[in-house]
Amino acid sequence: MSAADKLLELMFSWIEDRERCAEKLRKLAGELESLREKCNAVECASSVVSVVGAASLIGAGVATVFTAGAAAPLLLAGGVCSGVGVTVSVATKITEHFLSSDTLKEVQQIEENSNNIAKKIQKTYEQLNAQAKERSPIADPDEVDQHVMTEIVGAMARQSGLGQNIGFSAEFFSNPALGAKMMNQNANTAIAAGLTLEVSMSVVSILTFFSLKNGGKKWDILFAEGAKQLMKQVATTGFKTALKGGAMVVGGAVGMGFALYEAIDSWTDLIKNNHVTEASQSLRDTAYNIRKISKTLRELFNEMREKFEELAEVKCVIENSDRSSAEKRKLIDYVIKMSQDEVVKEWLRENYESVAFFELVDMFNLLKQELDKEKHKTDRKDIDITFVAHGAITGFRIPARCLLPLPSIKDVLLYSPWNCDINADVAYGIATGMIQPQNRCFFCTQEHCQIPDFLHQPSNLPFYWNSMNAAEEWLIPNINLSPLKASEDHAWDHFVFLRGKHGEPAINRVVIPFILPRWMSFVENIPFMIVTLTMSLVLFFSNYRATVHLSACLGRYEGEVLNQDYLSTQYAYTIDKTYMASSEEMYIHRNTDLYRAFKAVFG
């Protein structure tokens, strides 16, 4: 069992102990109230029995309560022993039996066990931190925190049937400031923001409750928010709360909510002062508060488990190509529910039965399987995927973030300016990673063009590629992609892995041509945002994170109206009939099969 699994098991055990403690305190309150009633009855009979006899009755009554009726015969004896013994205080007798109660002893035993579990929780958490430091001796405290959080989430995912490879955890937990930003923006409906934010907030709230402090500084803001959220959930309890060292300490012991032996002293004093009713009410209030705290923790765990179980069902649908209609609907419904962008939701609603969507899911799932087969050739988890298709842009604009629906896609890079096509050399350079900004040049697509080539050169062309990660809040034209024609199918393998060619590291680059089965020839185009959505969904359940390179023309459809000034500001814009080529400085292996494939597509 891993340290993270053991930590969760200990936390569950601690919660169960708290629930048992609450039940025993309620039982103890009931016993005390029953005893008080018997005492009242004895006081009413004081006119016919002596004080000493009444004390005997009280003693027998207390024994009856705490010994399940075994002392009942003593009641008669007490009634007739009116002249024997000395006066015994009712409060003293109740106090004695309260302190000797088997139920109270059980509460004390549960408390001792809880304290031992709390110590083990602290020790196990320290082991997790030590393991992180062993894995990377030079890791800073923030990296250690990231490892610990990822391990805990991974353990919860495994226990929920999801498996180890959840693509969001490491990426999200590497940037807790992003979580705080999402929280402030109330981005609780996005796949990347909502799911990871809710899960991470549950984790930090639980760690905060158990006073398991973070070692670095990067997490302070998220832990502070976790403390705030937890305070809101348990604010109605009667326990005093305080922030200490960035974590919430409830009472004295870890998350205990009250110090038992101090509470026993308080209840004893109340009973001695003949305030039995107040003592029993305090017992009930304490039981209620403990139950509420236990319920809050259990709900946090249950919410995480439910989300992971739902994800496990989605994973099964993705990985099973023989899907029923109900399973397809379940996947689409899940993506609609979790998506933050209305434009994505609208497309999914309008294309509920899209065969192209599920063909893309299968395509990328096959890619994941192929990557898993190649694992022995590389340890890299970051991969570069070049998606090759015919493309064009529309006047309808979408947020750039639509192309980055999940952290399993690190970035999407576009290479040509807006309203610009590319040729085979550029497409080949994109796929191999050889092309650099200084290699690009621009020409007219028409022979004998009346506009000289230098006017096809975009003004203020940035010396970098158009990164969608950097352009997150910008509006960009919607990019429509269409499949490669059947006549071009022979030029491609299903996937092209570039293994060490052109000086690139082994197998970090994959080329995927957008080729659909011949029977799907009716599919004319699909938005690029749906391509990256399906890709990110599949990679979400793997260890891989991809930088996506689009190898497609970005010229406009005829008749589409574009805002040239805006697009020039966002990145760059070219006049109509412009294509981007590569200079002779970029070395091109023109005799390779891959180059010939690009030549067949782009000319």
pLDDT in tens, 306-327: 888 888 889 999 999 999 999 9
Q: Is residue 319 part of a domain?
A: no
Find all residues with CB under 8 Å of 142, minimum gap 6, and list them.
216, 217, 218, 219
**Is the domain of 10 the same as that of 21?**
no
Same domain flag for 477 and 467: yes
Same structural domain, 446 and 595: yes
Q: Do 302 and 422 have their domain in common?
A: no
Residue 372 lies in a domain: yes
Contact status, residue 388 vs residue 598, Cβ threshold 8 Å? yes
Q: How far apart are alpha carbons 46 and 456 in whole angstroms?
A: 112
- Does residue 317 lie in a domain region? no
Q: Within a domain: residue 320?
A: no
Q: How many domains does the chain have?
A: 3
pLDDT at 7 exceeding the cut of 80: yes
Concatenating the DSSP letter of every residue in 76-118 gives HHHHH-TTSS----HHHHHHHHHHT-HHHHHHHHHHHHHHHHH
The better pLDDT of the pair 232, 504 is held by 232
Considering the domain architecture, whether residues 133 and 75 belong to the same structural domain is answered as no
Supply the pTM of this predicted model: 0.75
Helix (H, G, I), strand (E, B) or coil at 244: strand
Among 46, 73, 98, the domain boundary falls at 98
Q: Using pLDDT thresholds of 50, 70 and 90, give the confidence band for residue 227.
A: low
- If asked whether residues 94 and 128 sit together in one domain, one would say no
**β-pairing, 440-444 with 496-498?**
unpaired
Same domain, yes or no, for 358 and 478? yes
399 pLDDT more than 90:
yes
What was the pLDDT predicted at 253? 35
Q: Provide the pLDDT for residue 230.
A: 66
Among residues 248, 276, 311, which one ends one of the domains? 311
Q: Is residue 318 part of a domain?
A: no
Domain that holds residue 46: 17-98
